[in-house]
Amino acid sequence: MSLMQEMGQRALDLGVPMSVHFDVTYRCNERCVHCYLDHDDHGEMTTAEIKRVLEELADAGTFFLTFSGGEVLMRRDFFELLEYARRLMFNVRIKTNAVMIGAAEARRMMELGVDQLQVSIYSHRPEVHDAITKLPGSLRRSVEAIRFLTGQGLRVVIANVLMKANVGDSAGVQALARDLGVAYTLDPTITPKMDGDRSILNLRIPGAELSEVFHNESLVGNVEEFCAPPPVPAEDAMEEYPCSAGHTLAYISPYGDVFPCVQFPLPSGNVRRQKFIDIWRHSSELNEVRSIQARDLPVCSGCSHVGTCTRCPGLAYMEGNMRGPSTADCEKSFHRTGIPSANMLRQGLSSPSAPAGPLIQIQSAVAWI
């Protein structure tokens, strides 16, 4: 167990929210076709409110703080918030499209000790990238920004969200990442819109192409190991928790709403009305999430993939039951190993149904929390 894993285990044992994903705005200068957000401002927290929440997070023991959005730089006070967060000694990571980052912004981020930036790049081809973002010139500007950032010595990760429109461009984006000297992560997570509209799920890549991705050595490393059939679950597999959501991770929206994770829209409280630590400790929703072990999953507990599945409880929740299967993860397990999940067998499926598409998160080089 690495030192980081040890501390993660300690945070779990102590009930400390070690990581917080904080969306400071949903406004954005891009209009990505797959985005799940409503970009209007419905009453974002003020500078003072966010500073107070940051203080509460520091008091609660949060160490890893991810600022995201929307586009974080749409907030005029973003650098004031960033400076305040660093003053409170958070390890700060930023998710951004980087379009608004020039030399001065990159230098300031370096001076403030930002740990990493994750920049969304959809294709190495401007006509594909800009068609996804709906912002002409966005690829050129994002790549320029990455050069400013790396020129300051900052660590950058390119996040390559994969969907039908760019499924063939992952190798090109990987090559671009190599050229820029930054890490690359493939992230084809397409989720329903916040208003429940599931139409964007049609953008997900089809299963056959996902299978190709899982068998691509340059993306997954050792294919034989990655695609191996699931081993017999360990004795304690039934006592495992699904993921860190609600255990050591929380998500806060620009309006102060607290959720177990950015991908788990279970309203658990609001920091405008309650202290964060009170929500974290006493929210009945978070406590319910924490109570769920693998043994409590009616379908998944009997699945051969239970010990290795990346089942996302948030996606299961969005399908209607946080204790149920996450179809997208069933499909991942199937396309990775060729072995149907218990959920698929239950439904009489030997292969997953379209259009419910796969979700994968493969990462190389740099860990991103």
Partner 1 sequence: MTEKRNAKYIAKSRAIASRMLGGEMMIMSAVDSTFFTLNPVASVIWQAADGRTQLSEIVEQQVCSEFEIDMETAQRDVERFVEELSAHGILLVSDCPFPESSISPTEAA
Q: Which residues bind partner 1 (CB under 8 A)?
A: 3-4, 6-7, 10-11, 13-14, 16, 18, 58, 61-63, 83, 86-92, 113-116, 153, 155
Contact in structure between 173 and 124 (CB atoms under 8 Å)? yes
Of residues 361, 256, 253, the one with CA closest to residue 315: 361
Of residues 356, 62, 343, the one with CA closest to residue 205: 356
Helix or strand or coil: residue 360?
coil
**N-term to C-term CA, the chain:** 17
Least distance to partner 1 from the beta carbon of 363, Å? 15
Nearer to partner 1 (CB atom), residue 82 or residue 203:
82
- For the chain, the maximum distance between any two Cα atoms, rounded to a whole number of angstroms, is 58
Nearer to partner 1 (CB atom), residue 28 or residue 117:
117
Least distance to partner 1 from the beta carbon of 65, Å? 9
Of residues 267, 238, 234, the one with CA closest to residue 252: 267
Least distance to partner 1 from the beta carbon of 119, Å? 17
159 secondary structure, DSSP code? E
Least distance to partner 1 from the beta carbon of 137, Å? 31
- d(CA 235, CA 258) in angstroms, rounded, equals 34
Least distance to partner 1 from the beta carbon of 47, Å? 17
Least distance to partner 1 from the beta carbon of 263, Å? 24
Nearer to partner 1 (CB atom), residue 9 or residue 202:
9
Contact in structure between 310 and 332 (CB atoms under 8 Å)? yes
* Amino acid letter, residue 135: L
- d(CA 358, CA 356) in angstroms, rounded, equals 7
Nearer to partner 1 (CB atom), residue 19 or residue 189:
19
Least distance to partner 1 from the beta carbon of 101, Å? 17
- d(CA 53, CA 359) in angstroms, rounded, equals 32
Least distance to partner 1 from the beta carbon of 63, Å? 4
Nearer to partner 1 (CB atom), residue 6 or residue 217:
6
Nearer to partner 1 (CB atom), residue 83 or residue 278:
83
- d(CA 73, CA 76) in angstroms, rounded, equals 7
Nearer to partner 1 (CB atom), residue 155 or residue 193:
155
Contact in structure between 98 and 148 (CB atoms under 8 Å)? no
Helix or strand or coil: residue 176?
helix
The Cα angle at residue 155 between residues 152 and 157, in degrees rounded to 5: 130
Nearer to partner 1 (CB atom), residue 66 or residue 333:
66
Least distance to partner 1 from the beta carbon of 115, Å? 5
Nearer to partner 1 (CB atom), residue 114 or residue 309:
114
Nearer to partner 1 (CB atom), residue 90 or residue 214:
90
- d(CA 249, CA 245) in angstroms, rounded, equals 5
Q: What number of CA atoms fall less than 13 Å from residue 284's CA on the CB side? A: 0
- d(CA 357, CA 369) in angstroms, rounded, equals 24
Least distance to partner 1 from the beta carbon of 278, Å? 20
- d(CA 188, CA 190) in angstroms, rounded, equals 6
Contact in structure between 308 and 231 (CB atoms under 8 Å)? yes
